[in-house]
Amino acid sequence: MRKGPDIEGRRWLEQAQIDLGWAEHLNAEGAYYLVCFLAQQAAEKSLKAFLYAQGEEMVIGHSVRRLCQNAAEYDVEFQHNLTDWALLDSYYIPTRYPNGLPDDIPARVYNQGAANTALTLAEAVIAQVASWFTDRSTPDQHDG
C-alpha cells in the first residue's frame, strides 16, 4: 500500500535518476542501444513520478509522448517539450529486439550520437520533474 502521492512520486523519480546514471555508465562503455532504451525508461518513470504525485492511482503505458500529454493536464510546462521528448518513444522497442529493425540488430544500429541525444532528452525530462518536486518542497517566501 502506498504512503501518499508525494512519496510514491519521489520513489519513481529516484528510480528514474538511478536508471539515468546507469545509462551514462553504459554510454561510456559503448553500449549505445542500451543507453537509448534506458534513457526512454528513465524519462517514462520520471513522468510517471509526476503523475503519481498528482494523486493518480494507476499510470499505465510506456509512451513518453502520451505521459507528457497527461502531465500537461496538470502543468502546461510539459506541453512545451512534448515534441522533442517524444523522440524517446522510438527507443522503446527497436533498441531491444532484432525484429524491430530490418536485417540488423540493435547492438549494431544505435551509435554514440543516438545515445547522446537520448541521454540529453532524458536528462531534460528528469530535470523538469525534479524541479517540480523541489519547487513544491520550498516554502513560499511570501508566507509569514
Q: Where are the domains of the chain?
A: 5-135
Is residue 9 pLDDT above 60, yes or no?
yes
Q: How confident is the model at residue 3 (pLDDT cuts 50, 70, 90)?
A: confident
User: What is the Cα 27 distance to its own chain's centre?
Assistant: 17
pLDDT at 18 (0 to 100): 98
Helices and strands, number each (H, E), in the chain: 6, 0
pLDDT at 138 (0 to 100): 59
What value does the mean pLDDT of the chain take? Answer: 93
Average pLDDT over residues 9-17: 98
Find out whether 20 and 38 touch, Cβ atoms under 8 Å: yes
Cell of 41: 525508461
Each residue's pLDDT tens digit, 82-114: 999 999 999 999 999 999 888 999 999 999 999
Is residue 144 pLDDT above 50, yes or no?
no
Each residue's pLDDT tens digit, 26-54: 999 999 999 999 999 999 999 999 999 99
pLDDT at 117 (0 to 100): 98
Residues 6+ apart with CB under 8 A from 85: 43, 64, 65, 68, 121, 124, 125
C-alpha distances in angstroms, 110 versus 8, 9, 14, 36, 124?
33, 31, 27, 8, 21
Residues 6+ apart with CB under 8 A from 126: 13, 16, 17, 20, 42, 43, 46
CATH code that applies to domain 5-135: 1.20.120.330
